[in-house]
Structures are given as C-alpha cells and as structure tokens.
Amino acid sequence: MIDAFLTTADTALRTLFAPPRAAQPTPQPTQAASDLSNEEKKLAAALMRVNHVGEVCAQALYTAQAFATRNETLRSHFTRACVEETDHLAWTKQRLDELDSRPSLLNPLWYAGAFGIGLLAGRLGDRVSLGFVVETERQVEAHLMSHMDRLPAGDTASRAIVAQMAEDEVRHALDAQKAGAVELPAPVKSLMKAAAKVMTTVAHHI
C-alpha cells in the first residue's frame, strides 16, 4: 500500500510539474503547413490547451484506477495505458509551446477532480472501472474529432497530433472492452458529458 501510494503521488507530481517525456515521436503531418493568422493561432492554442487538459485528466483517471484495483493484471493494464497517454501529454504540451501558448492554469484542479472520479469508479468494482474507461475514451474520441473540424486547415501539425490521439483512444476503449468492461447506465454517461463540457469550456480560456 505504501509503494502504491508513493507511485500515485509521484505520477501526480510529474504530470503537473515536470516536463512530460514521450516514448513515441510526435506525429508529423503529411502536408506542409501554411502560415497561421493571429486569430488562427489563438484558436489552435485554445483547442490544444483543452486537449492537454484532457491528457492531464487521463493521467489522473488511470492512476486512480490503478491505485483502487486489487487485481494485479488490471493494475498493469491501467499503468500501461497511463504511460501511453503520457505521449499525448507531451505532444500537446510541445504544440502549445510552438504556438506560444500555455497549459490551463487550473490543471491541479482538473487533476484532483479526475482522480476523485477514477477512485470512485475503481471502488465500484473492476468491471465498472473498465466501463468508465470505455465511455471516457469514446467521449474523448468524439471530442477530438470535433476539433479536427475546428482546427485551422493550415495547422497541419496540430491536426496530425489530434488524429493520432483519436486513433489511440479508440484502441484504449477496445482494450478495456476486451478486459471485461460493463456498459454504464445512460444517466452516468450524461453526467460524464456534462462534466466534460464544463471542463472544456473553462479550459478553452483559462
């Protein structure tokens, strides 16, 4: 338990305060980028800040779920997914830097909230916890695809990152389904969407 607590605390500190390091190279666009206007850069930065917040929350969720489960195989599953999501965290942070922007100022708050939700899901049982992963990843995929419609056409760098992230989220959802996830009730899904809406709206600006 002490080791698990220390690992959980270490992940939180690294997510919030240390430069993320990707294991995989940043996705590269297949088309040349065009110069972005100030308004286009501002929009792209806001969208990538929202995506970065999503990855901060993913770190919190998977870490909490790994902490909550007593199943060593499932703990390894959550830990591996958390490591893979670190790539997304690093890619979005890199793109924010390139756009001369910053992450959300409320990242500690987002992390704490997501960790609490992940811990609750984990306490409800492994199959429910996995079901939460499936629904979260489905909503994240839909959210990312909506960003593909909103990102400036000339921002091929951001678009390449978002496209790869969406592909990875689909795989994470499928992995959770194969591991034994249950379908969450419709009211829970609606509540998750409402919470995500608040987060994305605020993170777009702050």
Q: What is the pLDDT of residues 186-195, one digit of tens each?
A: 888 888 888 8
DSSP for 63-119 reads HHHHHH---HHHHHHHHHHHHHHHHHHHHHHHHHHHTT----TTHHHHHHHHHHHHH
Distance of CA 116 to the CA centre of its chain: 15
Q: Distance between terminal CA atoms of the chain?
A: 36
pLDDT at 120: 87
Cα dihedral 50/51/56/61 (nearest 10): 110
**pLDDT tens per residue across span 80-103:** 888 888 899 999 999 999 999 999
Q: Which two tokens stand for residue 85?
A: 């999501």
CA distance 169 to 137: 5
Q: Would you state the CATH architecture of domain 2-9+41-203?
A: Up-down Bundle (1.20)
What number is the average pLDDT over the span 30-56? 88
Per-residue pLDDT for 2 more than 70?
no
**pLDDT over 70, % of the chain:** 96
Among 15, 198, 206, CA closest to 103? 206
Under 8 Å between Cβ of 29 and 156: yes
Per-residue pLDDT for 122 more than 90?
no
Provide the 10 A C-beta neighbour count for residue 98: 15
Alpha helices in the chain (DSSP H): 2-17, 38-68, 72-98, 107-123, 126-150, 156-178, 186-203
Q: What is the pTM (predicted TM-score) of this model?
A: 0.88
